[in-house]
Amino acid sequence: MRTLRQRMEDKERETGKTPGLLRLARANERSLATQKAPWLKELSIDGRTLKSKDGEHDLAGATARVETAGQIEQRVTAARLVTLGVFALAAKKKRDNRDLFLTVEGPHVALVRQYSAKDVDEAELRQFAADINQAAA
């Protein structure tokens, strides 16, 4: 079973014209590929090199990790207590006061970046650290 995209690409090859939906899909893919998280714009990996605003750093033998500091506060608010009664104890308000640190250490690089957990997707930051580790291997 061929996907819609495959059928559109077949039609493009046959007619020599690109269907509008395929053109739109390709534009969207280009947009997503060039889009970076705002917090990550200052860092990029190019082969075995980490580029930052401080310059270029050789990643040979380097390791990257994400560390957390701080805590997630949980508290009962007055409004929740009034509306939920004793169940408010189970539905506490959460506030993330953590900071995330991206640390890259190696023979040719020592880099630490601090981010607020509210401003950064932790999974993306951890994936970026994994990408650095893979490039350094």
117 is in which domain, residue-wise?
Answer: 36-136
Flag whether pLDDT at 120 surpasses 60: yes
Name 82's Cβ contacts closer than 8 Å, sequence gap at least 6. none
What is the Cα–Cα distance from 84 to 99, expressed in whole angstroms? 31
Residue range 66-75: mean pLDDT, rounded: 66
DSSP-derived letter for residue 118 is T
Same domain, 26 and 40: no
Both 4 and 48 in one domain: the answer is no
Convert the pLDDT of each residue in 5-54 to its tens digit: 788 888 888 888 888 877 777 776 665 444 556 666 788 888 888 888 88
pLDDT band at 80 (very low <50, low <70, confident <90, very high): low
Query: Could you tell me if 61 and 103 lie in one domain?
Result: yes
Helices (H), 16-71: 20-34
Report the predicted TM-score, pTM, of the whole model to 2 decimal places: 0.56
**Which among 109, 133, 131 is positioned nearest to 36, based on CA atoms?**
131
Over 70: is that where the pLDDT of 113 sits?
A: yes
Total count of domains within the chain: 2
Question: Cα–Cα distance between 101 and 134 in angstroms, integer?
Answer: 19
Whole-number pLDDT of residue 115 = 85
Q: Do 69 and 110 fall within a single domain?
A: yes
